[in-house]
Amino acid sequence: MNIRGLIDRTTRTFAQEGLPTPRLDAEVLLAACLQTDRSEFYIHPEREVPPDRRRRFARWVGRRRRGQPVAYITGEKEFWSLPLAVGPQVLVPRPETEILVEEVLRLASSLPADPRILEVGVGSGAVSIALATELPRARIAATDISPDALALARVNARRHGVDGRIALMAGDLFEPVRGPFDLVVSNPPYIPEGSYDGLPVEVRCEPRLALLAGPDGTDVHRRLIADGGRYLKAGGWLCLEMGEGQGGRLTAALEKAGYTDIVRRKDYGGRERVIRARWR
Ligand SMILES: C[S@@+](CC[C@H](N)C(=O)[O-])C[C@H]1O[C@@H](n2cnc3c(N)ncnc32)[C@H](O)[C@@H]1O
Protein backbone atom coordinates (compact mmCIF):
# COMPACT_ATOMS: atom_id res chain seq x y z
CA MET A 1 0.00 0.00 0.00
CA ASN A 2 1.22 3.52 -0.72
CA ILE A 3 1.47 6.49 1.64
CA ARG A 4 -1.79 8.13 0.55
CA GLY A 5 -3.76 4.90 0.92
CA LEU A 6 -2.32 4.15 4.34
CA ILE A 7 -2.99 7.65 5.66
CA ASP A 8 -6.55 7.74 4.29
CA ARG A 9 -7.37 4.34 5.76
CA THR A 10 -5.84 5.16 9.16
CA THR A 11 -7.59 8.54 9.24
CA ARG A 12 -10.94 6.78 8.75
CA THR A 13 -10.11 4.27 11.49
CA PHE A 14 -9.12 6.99 13.97
CA ALA A 15 -12.20 9.07 13.06
CA GLN A 16 -14.45 6.06 13.74
CA GLU A 17 -12.77 5.71 17.15
CA GLY A 18 -13.68 9.36 17.87
CA LEU A 19 -10.10 10.61 18.06
CA PRO A 20 -10.16 14.41 17.74
CA THR A 21 -7.35 14.85 15.16
CA PRO A 22 -7.43 11.66 13.06
CA ARG A 23 -5.49 12.79 9.96
CA LEU A 24 -2.83 14.62 11.94
CA ASP A 25 -2.32 11.59 14.20
CA ALA A 26 -2.07 9.28 11.17
CA GLU A 27 0.47 11.52 9.49
CA VAL A 28 2.60 12.11 12.58
CA LEU A 29 2.72 8.38 13.35
CA LEU A 30 3.57 7.42 9.77
CA ALA A 31 6.23 10.13 9.50
CA ALA A 32 7.90 8.88 12.71
CA CYS A 33 7.59 5.29 11.53
CA LEU A 34 9.28 6.11 8.19
CA GLN A 35 11.72 8.54 9.88
CA THR A 36 10.74 11.27 7.49
CA ASP A 37 9.00 14.62 7.51
CA ARG A 38 5.22 14.94 6.99
CA SER A 39 5.84 17.38 4.10
CA GLU A 40 7.27 14.40 2.15
CA PHE A 41 3.80 12.85 2.09
CA TYR A 42 2.47 15.72 -0.01
CA ILE A 43 5.41 15.54 -2.42
CA HIS A 44 5.42 11.71 -2.83
CA PRO A 45 2.00 10.36 -1.80
CA GLU A 46 2.37 7.44 -4.22
CA ARG A 47 5.48 6.00 -2.53
CA GLU A 48 5.09 2.41 -1.36
CA VAL A 49 5.54 1.73 2.37
CA PRO A 50 7.90 -1.22 2.91
CA PRO A 51 6.29 -4.26 4.64
CA ASP A 52 8.44 -4.05 7.79
CA ARG A 53 7.42 -0.39 8.30
CA ARG A 54 3.79 -1.26 7.57
CA ARG A 55 3.87 -3.87 10.33
CA ARG A 56 5.37 -1.43 12.83
CA PHE A 57 2.84 1.23 11.78
CA ALA A 58 -0.01 -1.24 12.34
CA ARG A 59 1.25 -1.84 15.91
CA TRP A 60 1.43 1.91 16.52
CA VAL A 61 -2.09 2.42 15.13
CA GLY A 62 -3.30 -0.24 17.57
CA ARG A 63 -1.69 1.62 20.50
CA ARG A 64 -3.27 4.89 19.41
CA ARG A 65 -6.68 3.21 19.12
CA ARG A 66 -6.25 2.05 22.71
CA GLY A 67 -5.84 5.71 23.72
CA GLN A 68 -2.08 6.13 24.10
CA PRO A 69 -0.84 9.66 23.31
CA VAL A 70 0.86 10.00 19.91
CA ALA A 71 3.96 11.40 21.63
CA TYR A 72 4.35 8.30 23.83
CA ILE A 73 4.16 6.11 20.73
CA THR A 74 6.70 8.08 18.70
CA GLY A 75 8.78 8.85 21.82
CA GLU A 76 9.07 12.47 20.82
CA LYS A 77 7.30 15.84 21.06
CA GLU A 78 8.29 19.25 19.80
CA PHE A 79 8.18 22.20 22.20
CA TRP A 80 9.42 25.69 21.37
CA SER A 81 10.63 24.13 18.06
CA LEU A 82 12.89 21.80 20.09
CA PRO A 83 12.41 18.04 19.66
CA LEU A 84 12.20 16.39 23.09
CA ALA A 85 12.20 12.75 24.12
CA VAL A 86 9.02 11.90 26.02
CA GLY A 87 7.61 8.79 27.65
CA PRO A 88 4.99 7.75 30.20
CA GLN A 89 7.18 9.05 33.04
CA VAL A 90 6.52 12.68 32.01
CA LEU A 91 3.67 14.94 30.98
CA VAL A 92 3.60 15.47 27.21
CA PRO A 93 4.64 19.14 26.83
CA ARG A 94 1.65 21.20 25.67
CA PRO A 95 1.75 24.04 23.12
CA GLU A 96 -0.05 26.34 25.61
CA THR A 97 2.92 26.05 27.98
CA GLU A 98 4.84 28.14 25.43
CA ILE A 99 2.82 31.09 26.89
CA LEU A 100 4.66 30.47 30.17
CA VAL A 101 8.03 30.62 28.36
CA GLU A 102 6.93 33.79 26.55
CA GLU A 103 5.99 35.42 29.86
CA VAL A 104 9.36 34.58 31.42
CA LEU A 105 11.14 36.01 28.37
CA ARG A 106 9.03 39.17 28.66
CA LEU A 107 10.09 39.52 32.31
CA ALA A 108 13.73 38.75 31.47
CA SER A 109 14.31 42.34 30.35
CA SER A 110 13.80 43.40 33.99
CA LEU A 111 16.25 40.78 35.29
CA PRO A 112 20.04 40.87 35.59
CA ALA A 113 21.90 39.83 32.41
CA ASP A 114 22.80 36.49 34.07
CA PRO A 115 19.59 35.74 35.97
CA ARG A 116 19.21 32.89 38.46
CA ILE A 117 16.08 31.02 37.48
CA LEU A 118 14.37 28.10 39.22
CA GLU A 119 11.87 25.81 37.56
CA VAL A 120 9.78 23.65 39.89
CA GLY A 121 8.39 20.48 38.26
CA VAL A 122 10.70 20.24 35.27
CA GLY A 123 9.13 17.09 33.75
CA SER A 124 10.66 16.44 30.31
CA GLY A 125 12.71 19.63 30.63
CA ALA A 126 10.62 21.54 28.08
CA VAL A 127 10.44 24.90 29.88
CA SER A 128 13.98 24.96 31.29
CA ILE A 129 15.54 23.88 28.00
CA ALA A 130 13.58 26.50 26.05
CA LEU A 131 14.69 29.16 28.55
CA ALA A 132 18.31 27.98 28.45
CA THR A 133 18.36 28.27 24.65
CA GLU A 134 16.76 31.75 24.72
CA LEU A 135 18.72 33.14 27.68
CA PRO A 136 22.28 31.91 27.15
CA ARG A 137 23.59 33.62 30.30
CA ALA A 138 20.87 32.36 32.61
CA ARG A 139 21.79 29.90 35.38
CA ILE A 140 18.90 27.52 35.78
CA ALA A 141 18.06 25.14 38.61
CA ALA A 142 15.20 22.71 38.08
CA THR A 143 13.52 20.32 40.50
CA ASP A 144 11.08 17.47 40.19
CA ILE A 145 9.74 14.99 42.70
CA SER A 146 9.96 12.24 40.06
CA PRO A 147 13.49 10.81 39.54
CA ASP A 148 12.28 9.18 36.29
CA ALA A 149 11.19 12.55 34.92
CA LEU A 150 14.56 14.05 35.88
CA ALA A 151 16.40 11.29 34.03
CA LEU A 152 14.51 12.17 30.85
CA ALA A 153 15.04 15.91 31.38
CA ARG A 154 18.77 15.16 31.60
CA VAL A 155 18.70 13.31 28.26
CA ASN A 156 16.86 16.22 26.65
CA ALA A 157 19.14 18.88 28.12
CA ARG A 158 22.17 16.99 26.81
CA ARG A 159 20.57 16.61 23.39
CA HIS A 160 20.22 20.39 23.15
CA GLY A 161 23.65 21.15 24.59
CA VAL A 162 22.35 22.95 27.70
CA ASP A 163 23.02 20.26 30.33
CA GLY A 164 25.91 22.32 31.69
CA ARG A 165 23.56 25.21 32.45
CA ILE A 166 20.60 23.41 34.03
CA ALA A 167 21.15 21.88 37.47
CA LEU A 168 18.56 19.12 37.81
CA MET A 169 17.61 18.08 41.33
CA ALA A 170 15.20 15.58 42.85
CA GLY A 171 12.91 16.65 45.66
CA ASP A 172 9.69 18.23 46.80
CA LEU A 173 9.19 21.74 45.34
CA PHE A 174 11.98 24.00 46.75
CA GLU A 175 13.46 21.41 49.10
CA PRO A 176 16.62 20.64 47.03
CA VAL A 177 17.58 24.29 46.30
CA ARG A 178 18.97 27.34 47.98
CA GLY A 179 17.73 30.78 46.95
CA PRO A 180 17.48 33.50 46.28
CA PHE A 181 16.37 33.41 42.64
CA ASP A 182 15.48 36.25 40.30
CA LEU A 183 12.57 34.25 38.96
CA VAL A 184 10.70 31.07 39.85
CA VAL A 185 8.69 29.44 37.09
CA SER A 186 6.43 26.41 37.28
CA ASN A 187 3.80 24.52 35.35
CA PRO A 188 2.54 22.58 38.35
CA PRO A 189 -0.13 19.89 38.30
CA TYR A 190 -3.51 21.68 38.28
CA ILE A 191 -6.35 19.25 37.64
CA PRO A 192 -8.87 18.82 40.49
CA GLU A 193 -8.72 15.25 41.82
CA GLY A 194 -12.47 14.75 41.35
CA SER A 195 -12.14 15.41 37.59
CA TYR A 196 -9.74 12.53 37.01
CA ASP A 197 -12.26 9.92 35.88
CA GLY A 198 -13.70 12.33 33.29
CA LEU A 199 -10.36 13.02 31.63
CA PRO A 200 -9.72 11.68 28.11
CA VAL A 201 -8.02 8.26 28.09
CA GLU A 202 -4.82 9.71 26.65
CA VAL A 203 -4.51 12.21 29.50
CA ARG A 204 -5.05 9.39 32.01
CA CYS A 205 -1.98 7.69 30.46
CA GLU A 206 0.13 10.56 31.87
CA PRO A 207 1.56 10.43 35.43
CA ARG A 208 -1.01 11.35 38.07
CA LEU A 209 1.73 13.26 39.86
CA ALA A 210 1.98 15.56 36.84
CA LEU A 211 -1.78 16.12 36.65
CA LEU A 212 -3.58 16.19 39.99
CA ALA A 213 -3.41 18.78 42.75
CA GLY A 214 -6.06 18.48 45.44
CA PRO A 215 -9.79 19.20 45.45
CA ASP A 216 -9.70 22.37 43.29
CA GLY A 217 -6.40 21.75 41.47
CA THR A 218 -4.52 24.56 43.20
CA ASP A 219 -2.79 22.71 46.06
CA VAL A 220 0.67 22.91 44.47
CA HIS A 221 0.19 26.57 43.37
CA ARG A 222 -0.74 27.48 46.93
CA ARG A 223 2.43 25.88 48.29
CA LEU A 224 4.53 27.61 45.62
CA ILE A 225 2.93 30.96 46.50
CA ALA A 226 3.29 30.46 50.26
CA ASP A 227 6.95 29.35 50.14
CA GLY A 228 8.07 31.26 47.03
CA GLY A 229 8.97 34.44 48.93
CA ARG A 230 11.69 32.60 50.85
CA TYR A 231 13.40 31.68 47.56
CA LEU A 232 12.92 34.94 45.64
CA LYS A 233 15.01 38.08 45.73
CA ALA A 234 13.11 41.25 46.65
CA GLY A 235 11.44 42.27 43.39
CA GLY A 236 11.84 38.75 41.95
CA TRP A 237 9.08 37.13 39.90
CA LEU A 238 6.86 34.09 40.39
CA CYS A 239 5.43 32.88 37.10
CA LEU A 240 2.91 30.00 37.08
CA GLU A 241 0.82 28.14 34.56
CA MET A 242 -2.75 27.52 35.74
CA GLY A 243 -6.01 25.90 34.69
CA GLU A 244 -9.26 27.46 33.57
CA GLY A 245 -11.15 29.25 36.34
CA GLN A 246 -8.21 29.26 38.79
CA GLY A 247 -7.08 32.87 38.13
CA GLY A 248 -9.31 34.55 40.71
CA ARG A 249 -8.39 32.20 43.54
CA LEU A 250 -4.67 32.42 42.72
CA THR A 251 -4.79 36.22 42.51
CA ALA A 252 -6.34 36.30 45.99
CA ALA A 253 -3.68 33.90 47.33
CA LEU A 254 -0.87 36.00 45.81
CA GLU A 255 -2.28 39.24 47.24
CA LYS A 256 -2.69 37.67 50.67
CA ALA A 257 0.92 36.44 50.61
CA GLY A 258 2.15 39.96 49.79
CA TYR A 259 2.99 39.73 46.07
CA THR A 260 2.42 42.75 43.82
CA ASP A 261 2.17 43.46 40.05
CA ILE A 262 -0.14 40.48 39.50
CA VAL A 263 -0.96 39.88 35.83
CA ARG A 264 -2.92 37.04 34.19
CA ARG A 265 -2.27 36.05 30.57
CA LYS A 266 -4.51 34.17 28.15
CA ASP A 267 -3.38 31.44 25.78
CA TYR A 268 -4.16 31.51 22.05
CA GLY A 269 -7.43 29.72 22.77
CA GLY A 270 -8.54 32.72 24.88
CA ARG A 271 -8.25 30.86 28.23
CA GLU A 272 -6.39 32.32 31.19
CA ARG A 273 -3.26 30.22 31.33
CA VAL A 274 -0.45 32.05 33.14
CA ILE A 275 -0.28 34.19 36.26
CA ARG A 276 2.75 36.11 37.35
CA ALA A 277 3.52 38.32 40.32
CA ARG A 278 6.40 40.16 41.94
CA TRP A 279 7.76 39.45 45.39
CA ARG A 280 7.72 42.61 47.51
C1 LIG B 1 2.30 19.54 34.73
S2 LIG B 1 3.86 18.72 34.84
C3 LIG B 1 4.91 19.91 34.02
C4 LIG B 1 6.13 19.31 33.35
C5 LIG B 1 6.92 20.27 32.47
N6 LIG B 1 7.44 21.38 33.25
C7 LIG B 1 6.05 20.80 31.34
O8 LIG B 1 5.63 21.96 31.42
O9 LIG B 1 5.79 20.06 30.39
C10 LIG B 1 4.22 18.93 36.56
C11 LIG B 1 5.52 18.33 37.03
O12 LIG B 1 5.65 18.63 38.42
C13 LIG B 1 6.17 17.51 39.09
N14 LIG B 1 5.74 17.60 40.49
C15 LIG B 1 4.53 17.30 41.02
N16 LIG B 1 4.53 17.53 42.35
C17 LIG B 1 5.78 17.99 42.66
C18 LIG B 1 6.40 18.39 43.89
N19 LIG B 1 5.74 18.39 45.04
N20 LIG B 1 7.70 18.80 43.83
C21 LIG B 1 8.38 18.81 42.65
N22 LIG B 1 7.83 18.44 41.47
C23 LIG B 1 6.55 18.04 41.48
C24 LIG B 1 5.63 16.32 38.35
O25 LIG B 1 6.42 15.16 38.56
C26 LIG B 1 5.64 16.83 36.90
O27 LIG B 1 6.86 16.49 36.27
Classified as helix, coil or strand, 246 is coil
Per-residue pLDDT of 188-211, as tens digits, reads 999 999 999 999 999 999 999 999
Is the Cβ atom of 185 under 6 angstroms away from ligand 1?
no
Average pLDDT over residues 49-69: 96
Q: What is the pLDDT of residues 136-191, one digit of tens each?
A: 999 999 999 999 999 999 999 999 999 999 999 999 999 999 989 999 999 999 99
Atom of ligand 1 nearest to the CA of 172: 20
Residue 91 contacts residue 123 (beta carbons within 8 Å): yes
Say if ligand 1 is within 6 A of residue 69 CB: no
CATH number for the domain running over 87-278: 3.40.50.150
* For the CA of 190, the nearest atom of ligand 1: 1
2 — pLDDT class (breaks 50, 70, 90): very high
Domain ranges of the chain: 3-66, 87-278
Residue 2: DSSP 8-state: B
Ligand 1 lined by 243 (C-beta under 6 Å): no
Residue 224 CA to ligand 1 center (angstroms) comes to 12
Probe target for ligand 1 pocket from 82, 86, 172, 187, with the most ligand atoms within 8 Å of CB: 187
Q: Compute, in angstroms, the gap from residue 74 CA to the centroid of ligand 1.
A: 22
Pocket test residue of 79, 146, 221, 224 for ligand 1, highest count of atoms within 8 A of CB: 146
Per-residue pLDDT of 173-187, as tens digits, reads: 999 999 899 999 999
Q: What is the pTM of this model?
A: 0.96
**Ligand 1 center to 223 CA (angstroms):** 13
Question: What does the pLDDT read at residue 1?
Answer: 86
CB atoms within 10 A of CB 200: 12
Long-range contacts of 175-181 (CB under 8 A, 24+ apart): 175/143, 176/143, 177/118, 177/141, 177/143, 177/231, 179/118, 179/230, 179/231, 179/232, 179/233, 180/116, 180/231, 180/232, 180/233, 180/236, 181/116, 181/117, 181/118, 181/141, 181/231, 181/232, 181/233, 181/236
DSSP per residue, 47-109:
PBPPHHHHHHHHHHHHHHHTT--HHHHHTEEEETTEEEE--TTSPPPPGGGHHHHHHHHHHHT
- Residue 86 beta carbon below 6 angstroms from any ligand 1 atom: no
91, 193, 219, 222, best to mutate for ligand 1 pocket (most atoms within 8 Å of CB): 91
Ligand 1 pocket, 122 CB below 6 A?
Answer: yes
Provide CB contacts within 8 A for 185, sequence distance 6+.
Answer: 100, 104, 117, 118, 119, 120, 127, 131, 239, 240
143 alpha carbon to ligand 1 midpoint, in Å?
8
Instruction: For ligand 1, atom 19, name the residue with the nearest CA.
Output: 172
Give 81-125 pLDDT, tens digit per residue: 999 999 999 999 999 999 999 999 999 999 999 999 999 999 999
Q: How far is CA 124 from CA 68, 79, 128, 187, 268, in A?
A: 18, 10, 9, 12, 23
Half-sphere exposure of 47 (CA within 13 A, CB side): 14
